[in-house]
């Protein structure tokens, strides 16, 4: 899978768009150790159950699973350890202000390699209620039907 402008997509969190209204997106760097980078380059990463927290003015991603590198032996780290995200101070302050409001949370959207560096896209989102989720499913179904009709009309 390729992300636009030649970046290599490693992990994608489609469920985040289903569970949250994503309002703002930020690109952050990841602080990793050697074997974690090698494992990420092989595409062994999961951000489905992960979330982002601000602790003492620093941003961390919790529960991001990076599968241990096969040839890493003693150098492998805990796959679920909290990983620090690199953001500018003003971005961290914006995130802290948003999450202090009721119902807002920071969710990881995707992990990718950009110019040889590991990056993560995080989004500030407000949780959807069950009826909102049903609405978004209905809209997707309508779009799918409309596209199908459009194809049939243009081919025939």
Mean pLDDT across 42-50: 85
Q: For residue 20, what pLDDT is reported?
A: 83
Q: For residue 27, what pLDDT is reported?
A: 92
- Closest listed residue to residue 86, CA positions, set 95, 97, 76: 95
Domains and CATH numbers, the chain: 2-127 (2.40.280.10)
SS3 sequence of 22-56: EEEEEEEEECCCHHHHHHHHCCCEECCCCEEEEEC
Mean pLDDT across 84-103: 87
- Number of alpha carbons in the 13 Å side-chain half-sphere of residue 76: 15
The tens digit of pLDDT for each residue in 103-155 reads 788 899 998 988 888 889 998 888 877 777 787 888 888 888 888 888 787 77
């Amino acid at each position: 899978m390729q992300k636009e402008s030649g970046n290599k997509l490693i992990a994608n969190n489609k469920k985040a768009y289903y569970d949250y209204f994503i309002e703002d997106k930020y690109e952050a760097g990841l602080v990793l150790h050697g074997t974690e980078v090698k494992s990420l380059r092989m595409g062994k990463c999961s951000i489905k159950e992960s979330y982002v927290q601000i602790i003492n003015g620093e941003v961390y991603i919790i529960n991001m699973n990076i599968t241990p590198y096969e040839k890493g032996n003693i150098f492998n780290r805990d796959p679920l350890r909290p990983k620090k995200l690199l953001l500018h101070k003003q971005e961290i302050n914006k995130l802290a202000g948003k999450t202090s409001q009721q119902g807002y949370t920071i969710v990881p959207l995707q992990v990718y390699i950009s110019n040889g560096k590991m990056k993560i896209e995080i989004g500030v989102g407000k949780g959807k209620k069950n009826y909102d989720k049903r609405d978004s499913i209905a809209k997707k179904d309508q779009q799918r039907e409309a596209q199908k009709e459009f194809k049939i009309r243009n081919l025939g």
